[in-house]
Structure 1
């Protein structure tokens, strides 16, 4: 598994967002801390015409669990919130546990290369790396990777 403790990843904003408020929301909880420059990764930007993407950069948000609670709680009074959460690798189990407290608000937790098996109705693995010698990127795949975006979009379309 890759390590995400580079000091540069802790710089920059803890949360960045794009897309219309009120649209279905995808909360990306990123242990690697992509989106360094006040914008979501380019691979996700085409989705912002129909989705609100909220990108939480864990290295830049040491209290990320309380930030997730705050973001999800903000949607408590929405008439019919559509919230999906995406995360990966080392924090997948923590995110699933956190979302259990907001199950009525969250439609799904979409996982990329989780380090543990998850047995919840609302959690699904959407991308799993091969971790083979010829892989150029060790697991977990970065959440901005095109394969991740494809897997997430495919699963979101399946749920509609």
Structure 2
């Protein structure tokens, strides 16, 4: 497992967002703290023409659970009530699933990357899993800004959209 305790990851904003207000929202809860500047990772920017991406950088937001509660409460109180999906990885999977259980009516799905737990919730699914092989250059969990993660998330969102249409 990768070490997320590098001091540089704790600097910068705790939350960054991009994309149209009122659009379907993807809340990314990032244990690695990517997006240390004022924008989401470049690999996600193409999605912001149709999705609202809210990126929570856990190392820069030590009270991340209360931040997630606040984001979910704002979503609950939003008149439009757009679709909300959550993405997280590795060591955060169990905590995020537990948190979403208390807001299940607000969150369509939790998409997981290299979770450290077995996933047994109807609202959660694994979208990317690393393999432990000699040519695996990036230790698990994959960074949430990795292109394979973006591809897996988009594929899952497209599948969800196609199964929820009348």
Same-fold call, TM cutoff 0.5: yes
Deviation at residue 133 of structure 1 after TM alignment: 1.9
Counterpart residue number, 1:152? 153
* Unaligned residue ranges in structure 2 (runs of 5+): 162-166
* Unaligned residue ranges in structure 1 (runs of 5+): none
Question: Counterparts of 1:33 and 1:131 in 2: how far apart (Å)?
Answer: 23
For 1:79-90, list aligned pairs within 5 A: 79-90=80-91
Q: How many residues align?
A: 160
Counterpart residue number, 1:29? 29
Counterpart residue number, 2:14? 14
Question: Counterparts of 1:77 and 1:10 in 2: how far apart (Å)?
Answer: 30
**Aligned-partner SS, 1:106:** coil
**Aligned-partner SS, 2:54:** strand
**Aligned-partner SS, 1:110:** strand
Q: Following superposition, which runs of at least 4 residues in structure 1 exceed 3 angstroms of deviation?
A: none
Question: Counterparts of 1:36 and 1:75 in 2: how far apart (Å)?
Answer: 24
Question: Counterparts of 1:64 and 1:54 in 2: how far apart (Å)?
Answer: 13
Q: Are the counterparts in 2 of residues 81 and 105 from structure 1 also a CA contact under 8 Å? A: no
**Aligned-partner SS, 1:74:** helix
For 1:44-123, list aligned pairs within 5 A: 44-78=44-78, 79-123=80-124
**Aligned-partner SS, 2:108:** strand
The CA RMSD measured in Å over matched residues stands at: 0.7
Q: Are the counterparts in 1 of residues 75 and 81 from structure 2 also a CA contact under 8 Å? A: no
Deviation at residue 81 of structure 1 after TM alignment: 2.8
Deviations 1:126-157 (A, max 9, x none): 00000212111000000000000000000000
Counterpart residue number, 1:129? 130
